[in-house]
Amino acid sequence: MHAVYDLGFTYCTPIQAEILPHVLEGDDATGKAQTGTGKSAAFLTAILTRLSRTATAGEGVAGTPRALILAPTRELVAQIEKDALGLAKYLPFRIVSVFGGMDYDKQRRQLADEPVDVVVATPGRLLDFMRQRVVDLSKVEILVIDEADRMLDMGFIPDVRHIIHCTPDKSQRQTLFFSATLTDDVTRLASQWTRKPITVEIEPEQVAVDTVDQQVYMLTTDQKFTLLFNLITTQQLERVMVFCNRRDETRRLYERLRSHEISCAILSGDVSQDKRMRTLENFRAGKVKVLVATDVAGRGIHIEGVSHVVNYHLPIDPEDYVHRIGRTGRAGATGISVSFADEAESFYLPEIEEFIGRKLTCVFPPEELLTEPPAPQRPTAPRERTPRTRPRGPRRGGRPSRSGRGSGSGRSSR
């Protein structure tokens, strides 16, 4: 309770209010909720309460956790660990995160050298340590599987199944199962791994619609950077996330923003894990104003005070839209999402509207937001879309060629 007070939590979110009374009594639970609804705090509160109530005399055993949390991505594991450390501030529990892309030996020592109470892990790295007998899951009292739908999408389920088989039988442990969607496949998995679970469903509209002011600008591809630059500078935005669909798009946009002296950083699959962690901490600390990211940052990342989310490119998958704009307006706060709908991507809007259950108002940007930015101070990266062909110079023979190959008159043969 002291830690909850320190963190400034005053009221339960809907998922917390519905699920906490059951899980604190030891019931298994299946929860349907989007990221940003406070479910991490819900299951962490259940874990820490259970461990406090069932504390055993003496020290634990190295590499033998009493609680295990499985999540699909490194970023989500790191976020859950951070939340857990905040809630366990005044408790004597040791919490360790395990995921790829970081110092392997350091994580191994953290598990092997001292007793550990809670392990937060991605399936792949955890399996590595299990094969080396660094981790023993036979004493797990409470198991959490987070974002099960994404586990399915990423092909992790065989690994997760193997990990779960190494924990005590479901009758001997408490199991909490969370997913953004409850498809037939997800429901089937939940029935295999839980025991008479209570089910709590929080609809995504509560996150996607009620707390986020969603704006859509109709524009051309060439106007995108100009609009983004003017939004950031004229509104003096201090903490904004900008989403692109591909890694190369994030890189080009990042370079263009830097060339115009916009404080920014990049987060994508091309960035090493240790650099990703530093980037997120710098963004949290306000050292970076703009975070340009792919959907690797669309789930599981909680940054206080993100005022705006910009969809520089509209996502193809409507669910990604909900996850992206969920980076703002989190846990009851309000936020603003701005989406750019150009001639190529505006066709994604109907599916997004159907998914969120409401019509989005599309407007043209005001003229003052389309004022050309000043000349860049540094060389810029290539434009967002480069033409497939480029002007050809003369051939060795001196005459221009239409076909670009062969010799002779330079006229292309049909």
pLDDT tens for each residue of 229-279: 999 999 888 889 999 999 899 999 999 999 999 999 998 877 777 788 788
**Are 229 and 118 within one domain?**
no
Mean pLDDT of 77-96: 93
What is the per-residue pLDDT for 332? 59
The mean pLDDT value of the chain amounts to 83
pLDDT at 298 over 80: no
d(CA 397, CA 400): 8
Instruction: Specify whether 268 is located in the same domain as 328.
Output: yes
Supply the pLDDT for residue 154: 78
pLDDT at residue number 233: 92
Q: Please give the single-letter amino acid code of residue 326.
A: G
Q: What is the helix (H) or strand (E) element at residue 215, kind and residue range? A: strand 212-218
Q: Which of 142, 177, 202 is the last residue of a domain?
A: 202
Residue 35: pLDDT band (50, 70, 90) is low
- Among the residue ranges 228-237, 267-276, 359-368, 398-407, the one predicted with the least confidence is 398-407
DSSP string, 318-361: HHHHHHHHTTSSGGG--EEEEEEE-TTTGGGHHHHHHHHTSPPP
**Token pair 């307006």 in the structure block, residue:** 329
Based on the domain organization, do 140 and 281 belong to the same domain?
Answer: no
Q: Is residue 261 part of a domain?
A: yes
- pLDDT in the model for residue 379: 54
User: Tell me, what's the pLDDT at 409?
Assistant: 38
3-state helix, strand, coil in the chain (%, to 5): 40, 15, 45
Q: What is the pLDDT of residue 229?
A: 95
Question: What distance in Å separates the CA atoms of residue 69 and residue 176, rounded to the nearest whole number?
Answer: 9
Q: What is the CATH number of the domain that holds 269?
A: 3.40.50.300
Q: Identify the pLDDT of residue 184.
A: 84
Over residues 154-198, the pLDDT tens digits come to 788 899 999 999 999 999 999 999 887 778 888 888 899 999 999
Mean pLDDT of 40-67: 84
Instruction: Please report, for residues 187, 303, 363, 367, the alpha-carbon distance to residue 197 in angstroms, rounded to integers and kept in the order given.
Output: 11, 31, 46, 55
pLDDT above 70 (res 59): no
**Is residue 25 scored above 90 in pLDDT?**
yes
* Predicted confidence (pLDDT) at residue 120 exceeds the cutoff of 60: yes
Average pLDDT on 43-61 reads 81
In this prediction, residue 128 carries a pLDDT of 93
pLDDT recorded at residue 378: 59
Q: Are 123 and 269 members of one domain?
A: no
Q: Are residues 91 and 166 in the same domain?
A: yes
Residue 348 pLDDT class (50, 70, 90 cuts) = very high
* Domain identity same for 176 and 261: no
Question: pLDDT band for position 149 (50/70/90)?
Answer: confident
- The rounded percent of the chain whose pLDDT value lies above 90 is 49
In a domain, 244, yes or no: yes
Q: Is residue 76 part of a domain?
A: yes
The percentage of residues in the chain with a pLDDT greater than 70, rounded to a whole number, is 84
Among candidate residues 317, 378, 381, 389, the one with its CA nearest the CA of residue 351:
317
Q: Count the domains in the chain.
A: 2
Out of 202, 224, 251, pick the residue that ends a domain: 202
Average the pLDDT over 81-100 and give the result.
93
Domain boundary among 168, 202, 236: 202
Residue 44 pLDDT > 90? yes
For residues 36-54, give the mean pLDDT: 89
Look at residue 407 in the predicted model and tell me its pLDDT.
37
Examine residue 130 and state whether it is found in any structural domain, yes or no: yes
166 plus 181 within the same structural domain = yes
**Angle CA 329–331–335, to nearest 5:** 10
Task: Give the residues across from 400 on adjacent strands.
Answer: 394
User: Does residue 171 fall inside a structural domain?
Assistant: yes
pLDDT tens readout for residues 210-225: 678 899 999 999 999 9
Between residues 52 and 61, which one has the greater pLDDT? 52
195 and 217: one domain? Answer: no
* Containing structural domain, residue 365: 206-370
Q: Are residues 185 and 311 in the same domain?
A: no
Same domain, 126 and 216: no
Q: Are residues 120 and 223 in the same domain?
A: no
Say if residue 198 is in the same domain as residue 210.
no
